[in-house]
Amino acid sequence: MDVGTSGGVWGLERGYCMMIGGEVGAVKHLDPISNPGTGHRQYCRTPGREKAGGTSEQGYLHLRPNGAGHFVKMVHNGIEYGVTGGLCRRLAVLQAANIGKKAGAVDRKPRRCATRALSVRSQPAR
């Protein structure tokens, strides 16, 4: 059995998310530990999800075979790091272009990010 965990931005306030991999019998045996109804992970429900089924609202999912919990956590991290890396690259382009340091006239229509990044790099800093 394995459990990948993620806290997210609400981890301290609302609890963490557990992605559980393992045999059905083992997961059911440990359900009282995972379920917030036991008292150690009580929090208010997300507005609008009162009728949602399953255990995701309680902060955990059983993803079936052994290893699945950590596999899903690995995919989660890959997506998160990819988005963060993309944001960092875009901010670096804006910084290199001195965007926001002084007002100026717009001399052309906006282009896609990759095209704009190449044209910004080819121009000398002002």
80 part of the active site: yes
The mean pLDDT value for 1-5 works out to 92
Q: Where are the beta strands (DSSP E) in the chain?
A: 2-6, 17-21, 60-62
From 51, 57, 80, 102, active-site residue: 80
From 13, 50, 73, 102, active-site residue: 73
pLDDT at 33: 81
pLDDT digits (tens, 9 = 90+) for 69-115: 999 999 999 999 999 999 999 998 888 887 777 766 666 665 555 44
d(CA 3, CA 20): 4
- For residue 74, CA distances in Å to 50, 63, 69, 89, 106 come to 29, 13, 9, 22, 43
